[in-house]
Amino acid sequence: MSTPIKTVWIDNPPLNALDAATVERLEAELGQIEVETRVVVLRGRGRRAFSVGADVSELHAGTLPGIQDLAGVIESLPVPAIAALDGYCLGGGLELALACDIRIAHTDAKLGLPEVKLGLVPGGGGTQRLPRLVGPGRAAWLLMSGEQVSASRAEAWGLVERVTDELDAEIAAVAGMLAGQSRHALLELKRVLLDTRHAPSDRTEFDAFVRCLEAHDGKERIAAFLEKRTPSWS
């Protein structure tokens, strides 16, 4: 049965490594967003890790798991995507979280991009998305040192938006709030943010505003505000 909040699990115990099969399953599930879905929550199965990133044994064998393509799928979802981070969130796992719109971390979470310690660089968009969140200097430090940071430091640096001792409750609160917004307005917001990430554009924003104003949700919300009633979203 479809629900407004769709949870997608990274399920490859014990640490949810991103092998090719896991990435393929995630792409398939994320490619099936029902019309009733308002929010997607990406989580790691178990408490030990959201994901520790690419399966190193597959990399050694020459298999590339396709994390960059999966991150692109997440970033392009028509609804908000929330990454719920518990335990280790490393390498390609963090790159998937960076592709989400919002990141919520448990207080015990550890985040990092340790690829440099294997003589590698991130291959799932980490060098592109990380500087936009934490700034070029902090991004360079995380990338070049491979250091893991705590959830509290990640929040202070802007790498995550919320830190909590009660991850399930925080997910329910944040996802529930977003699920109550206009799906059309959220889609337009995602498009504007994505289309203007490299270059500001007042025109892009204004065109989205006009589309929202002319859409059913915009007209209904304004009417409901003036009539002091609860809106009925399309």
Q: What are the boundaries of each domain within the chain?
A: 5-179, 183-227
- Tokens matching residue 111: 């985040």
Pairing relationship of beta strands 162-164 and 110-112 according to DSSP bridges = unpaired
Whole-number Å distance between alpha carbons of 122 and 147: 14
Q: Which residue has the higher pLDDT, 216 or 113?
A: 113
Please check the confidence at residue 140 and state whether its pLDDT lies above 80. yes
Mean pLDDT of 41-69: 93
Which pLDDT band, with edges at 50, 70 and 90, does 71 fall under? very high
Whole-number Å distance between alpha carbons of 110 and 154: 9
Please check the confidence at residue 1 and state whether its pLDDT lies above 60. no
3-state secondary structure of 197: coil
Q: How far is CA 13 from CA 9, 27, 47, 48, 82, in A?
A: 11, 18, 10, 9, 21
Q: Which residue has the higher pLDDT, 111 or 232?
A: 111
3-state secondary structure of 44: strand
Please check the confidence at residue 15 and state whether its pLDDT lies above 80. yes
Catalytic residue annotation: 95, 115
pLDDT of residue 234: 60
Q: Does pTM top 0.75 for this prediction? A: yes
Mean pLDDT of 101-111: 98
The class level of CATH for 5-179 reads alpha beta
Please check the confidence at residue 197 and state whether its pLDDT lies above 80. yes
H or E segment to which residue 23 belongs: helix 20-30
Please check the confidence at residue 222 and state whether its pLDDT lies above 70. yes
